[in-house]
A and B are shown apart, each in its own frame.
Chain A
C-alpha cells in the first residue's frame, strides 16, 4: 500500500509544473533538502550542481565529449578482456536452502553418531561428530566396553584418511580409469566360469574378519562356491596368543585382563598399554589400580627387548634380547613350580614339572636369576591378585605357561578372563593369519589360483619376505584388489576397486571381548567406492547388494523380525548391542595339546643359535603396519619413545651403538646432550639371512643390548605424496618364521648419512624439577608447602565466575599420544612436513615430552609429560605482545586473537614452556576441498605469520556456556566441558574444570598433595598443574636401583645422543 502511494507521488511530481511555487507544493517528494532551490529542482539549482563539478558531471552527460568517449572505450575494452576472468564476474551458482531440513539438523550445531572402527583384530566403538554432514572429529564411545570413551591415535587420525585427496576414486583396469559397470560386466563372465566349477581357482584374501555380516557373506560364498578358498592376512596379528590359548585350553579364546584387580603384574613383552588389543581399556584399568589416592598401588614388572610404553610405566624392567625373552618364562615357571613348589593347577600332572626344568635348562645364558626370584616371591605374596600376561609376539608356548601360572595362582576369572569374539571362529579355520597367507601363496605358486580377490589388504607390501608374494602374484590371471588407496598391491592388480572408508559404509563389528555393534556411515561415499561387503556380495550373488540391506537383513535373520526395528534403532543409537559382551569362556586345561606346544618350543629353543645381533619387529605406534602411511597426522605424530617423526630407524641401545662404533658418530652431533641441530645419522646395513637393508641409526637408551628395533609401516612406495618414501621398509627382513624377531643378524656401517627429524633431542631434565617422581613406599612431604609467591604489584584476583583450570596426572599418562592427535583434529592443526619438523617447527598445540631419568643410562626410567598452554594467570606472553593479540579473558583463559597477531614471536620467546606455535609458512592455503571438509568449523583455520597455541578448547567451553546461559544458568556444571585431550585420554590423566568450584574434580585434584605447578618459582601462576608420578618399587629390589628422590641428579642426568 505504501509503495503504491510513493508511485503516485512520483508521478504527480514528474508531471507537475516546473514553476517554483507550484513545485513547492510537491512536498512528499524529498525528505531532506539543502535549499529551497533544491527542493523545487529549479533550473538554476541544476546548473549549480552541474557546474560545481564541471570536470566530471558535464563530461558524462555530453555524448560527444572526446575524452569520455576514449575513456569509455578504454574501460570497456578492459572489461571485455576481463570478462573471461572469474574474478570480475561473480560465478552463477545457485544455492538452495533445505526444502525439507534433515531431522535434528540445526546449521552450526554438530550431531554425533555412533559407529565403530576395525583395526587389525580389534573393533572399537566410536562416536563421530558431524558438522552439516561432514564428519570432523572422532571420539570413543563411552558405552562401548572396548573404548569407554577413549580412542587411540589411530582412531583419532583415521578421519584424515577419509578426506585424503589421494584416495582411490574410480575403479582401475590395468591401472587405467574404468567404471564399475565395466567391472561388473567382466565379473559376470568371470564368476560364471567359477560357478561352473564350484569356485575352483577362486581365492579371496581379506583382512581379519571382525564383521559378523561379512562372515555371513563369506559363509554364503563358501556354500555357493565350495571350492573357492578364503584366506585372511594381518601382518600384525594375535596368532600366537590364539594358538597358545587354544593349545592350553582347547578353545578359541583370547585373554582379557582385568587390571583393576591386579596388584602385581608381570608382563612378558606385553605392551598392554598400547600394542595389545584392549589397550584403551587396559590403560584405564591399570591406572585405576595405580592411583595412590584410591587404595593400593599396583606394581608392574616387565621383561622386554624394546622399550615399550608399558615398559616406561614399569616399576622394574628386565631388558633381554628377543632370544632371551622367549626363554624367560621358563625360568619364571621353574622358579614358581620347582623352586617355590607351587602346586600345578588341576589338569596338569606333576610330570609337567620335568618339562619346565627342561625349558629352564635352555635359559642358562640368562643372568637374571635374582630379578626373577624377587619378582616371583613378590607375586606369590598376592596370589589371585596378580597377573602374568604375555605379548602377542611371543610364541604360543609362553601363552601356555602364562595360562598355567595364572591358573595356579588363581587369577583366571579374577584378573584374567577368556573371551571370544563372535567372528573368532571364522578366522580360526586356517590356524592363523600367517598360515592362511602361506596356503594362498602355495596355491598361487602351484598356479591353482586363477582369480584372486583381495579386500583391503596390501600383501605386496606386508607379506613375509620369504613368501615372495610378488612373484607368485604374477602367476595369477585375474587379480582384483579393493582398497582405499592405489597402493603397492593395487599397482600389480588387474582390477583395482576403490573401497569405502569405514565412515562411508554400513558394517558391523565384533570386538575381541565379544561385544557386537552396528557401524553406520557418517557420510555418503565421497568417490565411486563400495564397501568390502558390497563388493563381495556383488561377486558372490548374495541376495542383498547394498551394505545397509546386507547388515540389516543379517541381523534381522539372526535376531528375528519381531521388534527388530526398535532393536535396530537402539543398536545404531548406542553404537553397540547391549549385553553382547557378557560371557566369559570357561578356562580348563587341555593337557595333551599344551605339552606338544611346549615341547615344540623347547625343541626350537635348543635348535636356535643366538647370534651377535638380534632384530625385533614391532608395528609402529604411528603407522601401525603401514596402512596409515598416507596419513599426515600420524606421520607427524612423533614416536613416543624415540620422538622421531616421518621416519623409522634402526633403534638400538647406547652399548650396542658403542660396540659397532656408531655412538661416536652420533654423539659428535651433540655437545653434552644439547642438540647441535645436525640430524644426519649414520646409515647401517643390516644383514639377516640373505637379505640386506640400509637404515639410519637412532639411539634409545633402555632397549636391550645387541638388539635392533625395527618399526614396520615405513618405506611405502605407493602411499601418496605423504607416505611414499618416508622411512625404510623393513618387511624385506621379516620372514614368516621371524615375524617378531630374527635372532641372527649382523650390521656394518655404510659410511652414509641420513637426516632424521626428531622433535625432542634432549634426553634429560638436567636435574630440574620438571617431572616429579615419588615412591609410595617413601614418605614424602607435601608439595604444597611452598606457599604463594609474592608479587610486586596487586594481582588481578580471579575469584569471580567460572575460572578454568586443568590437572594432568603424570602418574596416569602412558605417553600414548591420543591427546596430541585429538587436539590436532579438534583444533585444525596443520602438519608441516619432515623438513619443518627437523627445524622444530611442528605445530602440535599439545606435545608429550619424554625424559630419561635415573643413574643407569643403559636401563633408565622414562617419564612423560603432556604439555600445552598452561593459561598462566600472569602470562609472560601477554605482557610482551606489542599489539595485544594475546590477552586474558575474564574466565582465566589466555586468548589468541589471530587477526590481531602480527607475528613478532616475542610471546613464544617469553613462554617458559615453549608451547606457542608459529605459522612460519602458509600451511593451510593449499588445502583441497576434501581437506577443507575435515576442518572443525568452530575453530579458525590459521593463516601464515600468526602465533597459535592451546586454548583449552575454548570452542567447547563457549558452546556449553552459551547452552547454559540460554537455559538461564550462570554456571556450567562440572564435567560438562571436556576438552578434546581429556575426552580421548584412555587413562583419564587429564582433568579440566572450574577451579572456583570447590566441588569440581579439578579443584579437588589441585588440593591433592601430589599437585605441583611446573616452574612455579617464575610466579606465572599456570592454570595447568601436574600430579607427580608414583612408583611402587619392590623394596627388596629398590636397593639395586636408585633412590627415587635422587633420580636425575646433575652429574648423570645429561643425556647423550
Chain B
C-alpha cells in the first residue's frame, strides 16, 4: 500500500481507489440512506437513542437554566464567564474545518477534499448550531436576547456597535448562514440522485422537494459551478474572520492574558486544528462502518494528519510566543497572568493543553502514525480534548486579574457539565439523522475527481 502512496508528480494517484466505477461510488454512498426503515441497522438505533437522550438532557438543562437563572452554573465574581463560553468557542472551532475544506481547499484546487468535504460541512453546520446556542443561553435574560440584534425599535435604541459581542453576533450569524447555504447547495445534486433512485413515493417527494428540481442539465451544472465558486469566495474570508472575531471577545478586553494581539491568528489556527481533529475522529468511524475506505482513502487521512501537524505546531508556537511576549512586555499583570496559567491553580488545564495540542500531534511526523487509522483516531481525540482545554485556559484566566482581593477559583457545576454533554447529544442526533437519510459523501464531487470524469481519461500523461 505504501508504495502507492509515493506520488509520481506526473501521474497522480487516483483519489478513489480499488478501481471503483461511478456506479460503485453511488452505491457505496447512498446505500446507507436507502436502507428501508424497518431494516435500520441496530447500531444506528442504539447510537441515536444515546444521542437523543443526550439531546433531551440538553433541553432539560437549558430549561432548568432559563427557569432558575445563570446561577445554576458555576460562575462567580471574577469568573463571569465559564464553561458556556469555553464550549461556545470550542464548538465554533470545530465548525471551522468545514469552511476551510469546502472553501479554501476548493479555491486551491485541492481535489482530495471531495472525499471529506460533505462530512466536514455537515459537521460545521451542526457544530455552529451547538455553538450558536451557547451565547444565547448564557445571558442573564434570555428573553431579552433580541436586544443584541440591530432591530429598528420605537426607542430608537441601537445595540452598541463598539462591543465585540455584537461583532460576534454578526460574525456567527454570517458564518452560520453562509456555511448552511454552502452545505445545502452542495447537497442538491446528490439529493437529486437519491430522488431518482427512490423506490417509494414518500422518499421521492421528500428528496424531490429538497433537490429543488435538479435535473442535472448542463445549465444547472453551469449555474451550480458558478454559484459554488462564488460561495467559496465569500466563505473564504469567513474562515479567518469568524474565529478572529470570536477572539476579539477576549483580545478587545483590558484583562491581562486576554488583551493580546496574538489571539486572532492563534484562534483561527486553533479552530482549523480542532476542526480537523473532529472531522478526523468522525471520518475514521464512518469509513469503518460504511465502508468508505476507497473514497476516503489513507491518503485523505494522511493529508489531514499533515494539516493537524502544521496547525498544531503553529498553536504550539503561539503558546510559546505569548509566554515570551508576556515576559518581554515587562507588564507585571501580563507576566503574572501567563505564569499563573502555567503554574497556578489551573496548571493541570495548561499541562493538558500543551500535551494534547503540541506534544502528541508531533507523532504525525512519522508516516506510520499518519497512516495508521487507530493512531490517527487516538490523536484526534487528544486534539479535541486539548483544544477544549485551550479555551478553558483562556477563559479562566479571569480567575486572577488585577486586584488580588477578587481572585477566586472557578469550578463548573453539574449543570455546566450536563449542558456540555447534552450539546454532544444535539450534535450527534443531527449528525446521525444526516448519516441515515442524507448523502454522507459528496457524490457528484467525488465523481468529478475520478479519472473517468476526465475528458482525457485513458490517455496517460494528461494534465491534471
The listed residue (B69, B160, B401) touching A914 by CB distance below 8 A is: B401
Q: Is the CB of B139 within 8 A of A945?
A: yes
- Given the complex, which residues of A lie within 8 Å of B407, measured CB to CB? 674-675, 761-762
Q: What DSSP secondary structure best describes chain B's contact surface?
A: loop
Q: Is the CB of B408 within 8 A of A1015?
A: no
Closest residue of A by beta carbon distance from B155: A900
A657, chain B: closest CB distance, angstroms? 21
- Given the complex, which residues of A lie within 8 Å of B77, measured CB to CB? 840-842, 908, 914, 917
Does B181 have its Cβ within 8 Å of any Cβ on chain A?
Answer: no
A432 vs B156: C-alpha distance in the bound complex, in angstroms? 71
Interface digits, B53-76 against A, CB 8 Å rule (1 contact, 0 not)? 000000000000000111100111
Q: Is the CB of A912 within 8 A of B71?
A: no
A919 vs B74: C-alpha distance in the bound complex, in angstroms? 14
Q: Is the CB of B141 within 8 A of A879?
A: no
If A672-B344, A841-B76, A920-B71 touch, whether A880 touches B332 (CB-CB below 8 Å) is no
The listed residue (A851, A900, A920, A1015) touching B147 by CB distance below 8 A is: A900
Q: Is the CB of B68 within 8 A of A921?
A: yes
If A903-B139, A910-B253, A946-B140 touch, whether A677 touches B71 (CB-CB below 8 Å) is no
A900 vs B406: C-alpha distance in the bound complex, in angstroms? 27
A877, chain B: closest CB distance, angstroms? 10
Closest residue of B by beta carbon distance from A847: B405
Q: Is the CB of B405 within 8 A of A944?
A: no
A735 vs B160: C-alpha distance in the bound complex, in angstroms? 64
Q: Is the CB of A676 within 8 A of B345?
A: yes
A473 vs B68: C-alpha distance in the bound complex, in angstroms? 47
- Given the complex, which residues of A lie within 8 Å of B405, measured CB to CB? 760, 762, 847, 849-851, 865, 867
Stretch in B162-170, B415-423, B425-433 touching the partner: B162-170
- Count of chain A residues with Cβ under 8 Å from any Cβ of B? 64
Stretch in A105-113, A398-406, A766-774, A795-803 touching the partner: A766-774
Closest residue of A by beta carbon distance from B71: A920
Closest residue of A by beta carbon distance from B167: A882
B117, chain A: closest CB distance, angstroms? 34
Q: Is the CB of A674 within 8 A of B344?
A: yes
- Given the complex, which residues of B lie within 8 Å of A770, measured CB to CB? 403-404
Interface digits, A491-527 against B, CB 8 Å rule (1 contact, 0 not)? 0000000000000000000000000000000000000
Q: Is the CB of A677 within 8 A of B408?
A: yes
A224, chain B: closest CB distance, angstroms? 59
A161 vs B403: C-alpha distance in the bound complex, in angstroms? 34
Does A754 have its Cβ within 8 Å of any Cβ on chain B?
Answer: no
Does A902 have its Cβ within 8 Å of any Cβ on chain B?
Answer: yes
A839 vs B408: C-alpha distance in the bound complex, in angstroms? 8
Interface digits, B141-164 against A, CB 8 Å rule (1 contact, 0 not)? 110110110000000011110111
A99, chain B: closest CB distance, angstroms? 41
The listed residue (A675, A765, A913) touching B408 by CB distance below 8 A is: A675
Q: Is the CB of B404 within 8 A of A764?
A: yes
The listed residue (A839, A880, A914) touching B406 by CB distance below 8 A is: A914
Does A901 have its Cβ within 8 Å of any Cβ on chain B?
Answer: yes
A919 vs B140: C-alpha distance in the bound complex, in angstroms? 8
The listed residue (B75, B142, B160) touching A882 by CB distance below 8 A is: B160
Q: Is the CB of B76 within 8 A of A840?
A: yes
A836 vs B77: C-alpha distance in the bound complex, in angstroms? 10
Does B252 have its Cβ within 8 Å of any Cβ on chain A?
Answer: yes
- Given the complex, which residues of B lie within 8 Å of A11, measured CB to CB? none
Tell me the residues in window 887-926 of chain A with beta carbons closer than 8 Å to chain B beta carbons. Answer: 900-906, 908-910, 912-914, 917-922
A678 vs B410: C-alpha distance in the bound complex, in angstroms? 10
Q: Is the CB of B404 within 8 A of A766?
A: yes
Q: Is the CB of B345 within 8 A of A883?
A: no
Does A884 have its Cβ within 8 Å of any Cβ on chain B?
Answer: yes
Does B3 have its Cβ within 8 Å of any Cβ on chain A?
Answer: no
Counting residue pairs across A and B whose Cβ atoms lie within 8 Å, the total is: 190
Q: Is the CB of B157 within 8 A of A912?
A: no
- Given the complex, which residues of B lie within 8 Å of A841, measured CB to CB? 71, 75-77
A944 vs B72: C-alpha distance in the bound complex, in angstroms? 12
Does A881 have its Cβ within 8 Å of any Cβ on chain B?
Answer: yes
- Given the complex, which residues of A lie within 8 Å of B68, measured CB to CB? 921
Does A971 have its Cβ within 8 Å of any Cβ on chain B?
Answer: no
- Given the complex, which residues of A lie within 8 Å of B159, measured CB to CB? 882-884
- Given the complex, which residues of B lie within 8 Å of A850, measured CB to CB? 405
Q: Which of B139, B332, B406 has the most CB of A within 10 A?
A: B406
Does B80 have its Cβ within 8 Å of any Cβ on chain A?
Answer: yes
Q: Is the CB of B141 within 8 A of A909?
A: no
Does B81 have its Cβ within 8 Å of any Cβ on chain A?
Answer: yes
- Given the complex, which residues of A lie within 8 Å of B249, measured CB to CB? 906
A674 vs B400: C-alpha distance in the bound complex, in angstroms? 8
Q: Is the CB of B411 within 8 A of A883?
A: no
Does A1018 have its Cβ within 8 Å of any Cβ on chain B?
Answer: yes
Q: Is the CB of B78 within 8 A of A1018?
A: no
Does B254 have its Cβ within 8 Å of any Cβ on chain A?
Answer: yes
Does B336 have its Cβ within 8 Å of any Cβ on chain A?
Answer: yes
Q: Is the CB of A882 within 8 A of B140?
A: no
Interface digits, A739-767 against B, CB 8 Å rule (1 contact, 0 not)? 00000000000000000000011111111
If A882-B169, A910-B255, A921-B68 touch, whether A945 touches B164 (CB-CB below 8 Å) is no
Interface digits, A765-809 against B, CB 8 Å rule (1 contact, 0 not)? 111101000000000000000000000000000000000000000
Q: Which of B140, B142, B145 has the most CB of A within 10 A?
A: B140
- Given the complex, which residues of A lie within 8 Å of B120, measured CB to CB? none
Q: Is the CB of A671 within 8 A of B253?
A: no
A253 vs B325: C-alpha distance in the bound complex, in angstroms? 68
A881 vs B249: C-alpha distance in the bound complex, in angstroms? 11
Q: Is the CB of B69 within 8 A of A902?
A: no
A902, chain B: closest CB distance, angstroms? 5
A527, chain B: closest CB distance, angstroms? 33
A766 vs B256: C-alpha distance in the bound complex, in angstroms? 15
The listed residue (B71, B74, B163) touching A906 by CB distance below 8 A is: B163
Q: Is the CB of A912 within 8 A of B402?
A: yes
Q: Is the CB of A904 within 8 A of B402?
A: no
If A675-B407, A910-B254, A912-B254 touch, whether A882 touches B148 (CB-CB below 8 Å) is yes
Q: Is the CB of B163 within 8 A of A879?
A: yes
A906 vs B164: C-alpha distance in the bound complex, in angstroms? 10
Interface digits, A843-862 against B, CB 8 Å rule (1 contact, 0 not)? 00001011100000000000
Q: Is the CB of A882 within 8 A of B166?
A: yes
Q: Is the CB of B403 within 8 A of A677?
A: no
Does B310 have its Cβ within 8 Å of any Cβ on chain A?
Answer: no
Interface digits, A664-679 against B, CB 8 Å rule (1 contact, 0 not)? 0000001110111110
- Given the complex, which residues of B lie within 8 Å of A292, measured CB to CB? none
Q: Is the CB of B147 within 8 A of A902?
A: yes
Closest residue of B by beta carbon distance from A1018: B254
The listed residue (B160, B163, B166, B402) touching A1015 by CB distance below 8 A is: B402
Does A732 have its Cβ within 8 Å of any Cβ on chain B?
Answer: no
Q: Is the CB of A945 within 8 A of B140?
A: yes
Q: Is the CB of A914 within 8 A of B78?
A: yes
B331, chain A: closest CB distance, angstroms? 9
A884 vs B166: C-alpha distance in the bound complex, in angstroms? 10
Residue pairs across A and B with Cβ atoms less than 8 A apart, 22 shown, are A675-B407, A678-B409, A761-B407, A762-B405, A768-B333, A836-B71, A840-B406, A842-B77, A865-B405, A879-B160, A879-B252, A881-B160, A882-B169, A884-B160, A902-B147, A903-B139, A908-B80, A914-B78, A914-B406, A921-B68, A921-B69, A943-B141
CB-based closest 5 A-B pairs: A903-B140, A945-B140, A677-B409, A920-B71, A905-B80
Q: Which residues of A pack against B, CB within 8 Å?
A: 670-672, 674-678, 760-768, 770, 836, 839-842, 847, 849-851, 865, 867, 876, 878-884, 900-906, 908-910, 912-914, 917-922, 943-947, 1015, 1018, 1020
15 additional contacts, CB 8 Å, given A674-B409, A677-B410, A760-B406? A676-B409, A766-B404, A768-B403, A840-B77, A879-B160, A882-B160, A902-B144, A902-B145, A904-B139, A905-B81, A908-B77, A912-B401, A912-B403, A914-B401, A945-B142
